[in-house]
Amino acid sequence: MTYPRFYSASISIKYNDFIGGFIYMVSPKYPQVKDKIYNFTKKFLDELPISAPGKRDYCKDYKGSGLEIIVTDKGNKSFEVTKKNGRIIRVTIGQYPNISIENARKEALHISSQIAQGIKKFKEKSRDRFLQADELPKFFKALNGEINETAKGYILISLLTGA
């Protein structure tokens, strides 16, 4: 008989002599944790319903490594890795149809090992704050159309000083 995985921090297991079995006690901090762990398959992820308006639903992968799928109220489904090393660390892998489940699991293992080694910055996901060459004409056209002269002056000063 296989048992689903549980969070050790959220569920305490006690042996009850009176009943003669184990009692699973879910803490109020994580009320429905055991119901949110699933085996990710293509059919399961395709049939996930959208969440309530203004909310997000989180489902964890049965195979571990911190992989989650997040379903928004708009119907977007994206993979994330969540680890707790003193603080909660969340790293987004990508959206569901674009990334297969197997690739998401491999990437989750890679990210989990990096977090375990102490690497907490993932530069490949961040973008530079600088304007790219193809964005400059659009930027200056938008800046020229700015009505507020004070805002235009602040933007030009920040461009000149690099602040």
- Say what the pLDDT of residue 139 is: 82
Within 47-163, residue ranges assigned H as helices are: 101-116, 136-144, 149-161
pLDDT in tens, 131-143: 677 877 888 888 8
> How far from the centroid of its chain's Cα atoms is residue 115's Cα?
14
What is the value of pTM for the model shown? Answer: 0.54
pLDDT in tens, 38-72: 888 899 999 889 888 988 888 888 887 789 999 99
> How far from the centroid of its chain's Cα atoms is residue 27's Cα?
23
Other C-beta atoms within 10 Å of 9: how many?
11
Within the chain, residue ranges assigned H as helices are: 42-46, 101-116, 136-144, 149-161
Other C-beta atoms within 10 Å of 74: how many?
8
Domain map of the chain by residue range?
A: 1-35, 39-125, 128-163
Does pLDDT of 97 surpass 80? yes
What are the tokens at 2?
């296989």
Residue of 51, 55, 58, 62 whose CA lies nearest to 101? 62
User: How are strands ordered across the β-sheet holding 37-38?
Assistant: 37-38, 56-61, 67-72, 77-85, 87-95
- Say what the pLDDT of residue 163 is: 60
Helix (H) / strand (E) element for 88: namely strand 87-95
Residue 77 — pLDDT band, cuts 50, 70, 90? very high
What top-level class would CATH report for the domain 39-125?
Answer: alpha beta
